[in-house]
Amino acid sequence: MNTASTRNKTALVIGGSRGIGAAIALRLARDGANVALTYASAGAKALDVAAAIEAQGVQAMALKADSASAAELQDAVGQAVARFGRIDIVVVNAGVLHIADVAAFSLEQLDRMLDVNVRGVYLAIQAALPHMPAGGRVITIGSNTAVRSGHPGSSVYSMTKGAVAVMVKGLAVDLAPRGITINNIQPGPIETDMTADMIEMVKEWIPLKRVGQPDEVAALAAYLASTESGYMTGASLTIDGGMSL
Ligand SMILES: NC(=O)c1ccc[n+]([C@@H]2O[C@H](COP(=O)([O-])OP(=O)(O)OC[C@H]3O[C@@H](n4cnc5c(N)ncnc54)[C@H](OP(=O)(O)O)[C@@H]3O)[C@@H](O)[C@H]2O)c1
């Protein structure tokens, strides 16, 4: 794959301090992009990722911005644009997972999931778009639970990721006249903090008999961020070892 087209681009990774988002931030840096990344609470980890990005010879910024806050998202975008001048690639990765039966799901948890996983995705894209030129790339991180939600207690998480998949279809139509594409990556179980307590159990449900690695998702993001993906928009791409077949 030729990712040379990513060189000298500016990427904003929403939720880039750990897991999949950190792997994507590092991969885009390896492909030559300057990267701004946001985090909610893991400031030290975000600074570590930024240092690892700068070790690749490109520029990095770590910005504190809770995706539940429209003002904080706007501020993060403003800081990235003030330094880099524009945003070519936006990866909206920040997400939270709370598993509970419908009878036990609290209103607070429901609102938090919707705020970060749905409203925050829309607001981050909305904030970045005025600064994106033609050829821009928007990438969201959904989940294979939007395709097959077989795990008890995952109704709200699946609902949020289904919403992202449909949001991406609608935004693809709106952004096409500007020459900006938007696509959604739907991972299955990937080895991160989010899945630490379920890895052993879920392995058995996956035809490839293993969970995925953040770098494998980052490789797909690198393709979507490159010029080579130019004819793809509005797509949801599932990467899950065959789990949702
Ligand atoms: N791991 C999987 O198996 C899997 C499968 C399918 C989809 N996904 C999706 O992939 C994305 C990343 O998951 P992951 O496994 O890498 O999760 P993770 O290890 O828990 O990392 C989550 C990342 O999102 C950030 N984040 C969380 N809430 C945020 C908020 N309110 N505002 C800003 N940033 C926030 C975190 O920042 P802090 O470090 O500051 O908290 C962290 O950088 C999520 O959208 C998740 O739903 C994951």
82-95 pLDDT, tens digit each:
999 999 999 999 99
Q: What strand order describes the sheet that includes 89-92?
A: 60-64, 34-39, 10-14, 89-92, 137-141, 181-187, 236-239
CA distance linking residue 54 with residue 10, whole number of Å: 13
Q: Is 21 in the pocket of ligand 1 (CB under 6 A)?
A: yes
Q: Which of 196, 169, 185, 180 is nearest to 218 (CA)?
A: 185
CA distance linking residue 191 with residue 6, whole number of Å: 26
pLDDT at 2: 59
How far, in Å, from the CA of 14 to the mean position of ligand 1?
9
pLDDT at 4: 74
CA distance linking residue 120 with residue 130, whole number of Å: 17
Q: Is 244 in the pocket of ligand 1 (CB under 6 A)?
A: no
Mean pLDDT of the chain: 97
Q: Is 136 in the pocket of ligand 1 (CB under 6 A)?
A: no
Fold of 4-239: Rossmann fold (3.40.50)
Dihedral of alpha carbons 224, 230, 232, 234, sign: positive
pLDDT at 169: 98
Domain boundaries in the chain? Answer: 4-239
CA distance linking residue 158 with residue 142, whole number of Å: 9
Q: Which atom of ligand 1 is nearest to the CA of 66?
A: 32
Q: Which atom of ligand 1 is nearest to the CA of 189?
A: 3
pLDDT bucket at 14, cuts 50 / 70 / 90: very high
Q: Which residues are catalytic?
A: 157
How far, in Å, from the CA of 194 to the mean position of ligand 1?
7
Distance between alpha carbon 126 and the CA centroid of its chain, in Å? Answer: 15
The SS3 assignment for 2 reads coil
CA distance linking residue 98 with residue 120, whole number of Å: 16
H helix and E strand count, the chain: 8, 7
How far, in Å, from the CA of 97 to the mean position of ligand 1?
8
Q: Is the pLDDT of residue 5 over 90?
A: no
Q: Which atom of ligand 1 is nearest to the CA of 41?
A: 40
Tens-digit pLDDT profile for residues 129-166: 999 999 999 999 999 999 998 789 999 999 999 999 99
Tens-digit pLDDT profile for residues 190-210: 999 999 998 888 999 999 999
